Structure 1
Amino acid sequence: MVTTVLDITTGRREVVLDITRECERVVSESGVQSGLLNVFVPHATAGIAVIETGAGSDDDLLAALDDLLPADDRWRHAHGTRGHGRTHVMPAIVPPHATLPIVDGRLALGTWQSVCFVDLNVDNPERQVRISVLGD
């Protein structure tokens, strides 16, 4: 197994950040021809989504999360900025991990699929993503 840690700075804003190239680089450098790529966020307030990007879907995801999880005072988990509790609920909707197939030494994504880091937590701009490759 090969694991790489990707450091991300969000700039204190909500983000959907495409990390597909970094995942593809880790797969390529691993030499694995057949196996699995696991992407994991070791944070209680961030997630991984496999979605289309660049056509508005990333902004649509942020808007949908804002509709589902408004940044208001309803949250019992109430430290940090207003509505911070919603960021602790988000990983139940956008999980903190994704596992993807590796076929013929390449990440086997669909034509329009990208691996994206999702973070609504504006209180913590420094993040990590663990990218692991397992296989032959």
Structure 2
Amino acid sequence: MDTETRTYVTGDREVVLDLTRDCADFAAGRGDGLLNLFVPHATAGLAILETGAGSDDDLLAALADLLPADDRWRHRHGSRGHGRAHVMPALIPPYATVPMLGGQLALGTWQSLCLVDLNVDNPERDVRFSFLT
């Protein structure tokens, strides 16, 4: 197994960050296998979805509807509504696995691998890339 950890700056806003190019670069030329991504954070997740056509903003809007940034959360440190970021990984897990065929990501035409981060209190996120044969 070949593994690498990369750090991404997500800043002080909620974000859907497209990692597809980094995934393709990491796995290029490795042949057939599985690319596994893992976010070792309690308040971030990984999603496979279309980006650039509004779906990333739609995802953030849906999460805002499902998990409002208000004072209902029992987990209450950090910014207002911070507890919602701790619930989000139950909906958007901290892992994703994609098949690799001939050293290429076997994603559908409009699919992208994305980091989803609702935690505005932590501006950096680590993502572990692992190639499994």
**Structure 1 gap ranges (5+):** none
1:8 aligns with 2:5: no
Q: How many residues align?
A: 133
Q: Residue 20 of structure 1 aligns with which residue?
A: 20
RMSD between aligned residues: 0.6
Letter in 1 for 2:65: D
The Cα shift of 1:32 comes to 2.0
Q: Residue 78 of structure 2 aligns with which residue?
A: 80
1:59 aligns with 2:57: yes
TM norm structure 2: 0.98
TM norm structure 1: 0.96
Name the % identity.
70
Q: Residue 88 of structure 2 aligns with which residue?
A: 90
The Cα shift of 1:96 comes to 0.3
Quick one: distance in 1 between partners of 2:35 and 2:129? 7
Secondary structure at the aligned position of 2:77 is classed as: coil
Q: Could you list the runs of 4 or more consecutive aligned residues of structure 1 that deviate by over 6 angstroms after TM superposition?
A: none
Q: Residues 45 and 90 of structure 1 are in contact (CA less than 8 Å); yes or no, is this contact kept in structure 2?
A: yes
Which digits, 9 at most, give the CA deviation of each residue in 1:87-109, with x for residues without a partner? 00000000000011001111100
2:101 is matched with which residue: 99, 103, 107? Answer: 103
Quick one: distance in 2 between partners of 1:90 and 1:54? 22
The Cα shift of 1:36 comes to 0.3
Quick one: distance in 2 between partners of 1:88 and 1:108? 30
Q: Residues 32 and 134 of structure 1 are in contact (CA less than 8 Å); yes or no, is this contact kept in structure 2?
A: no
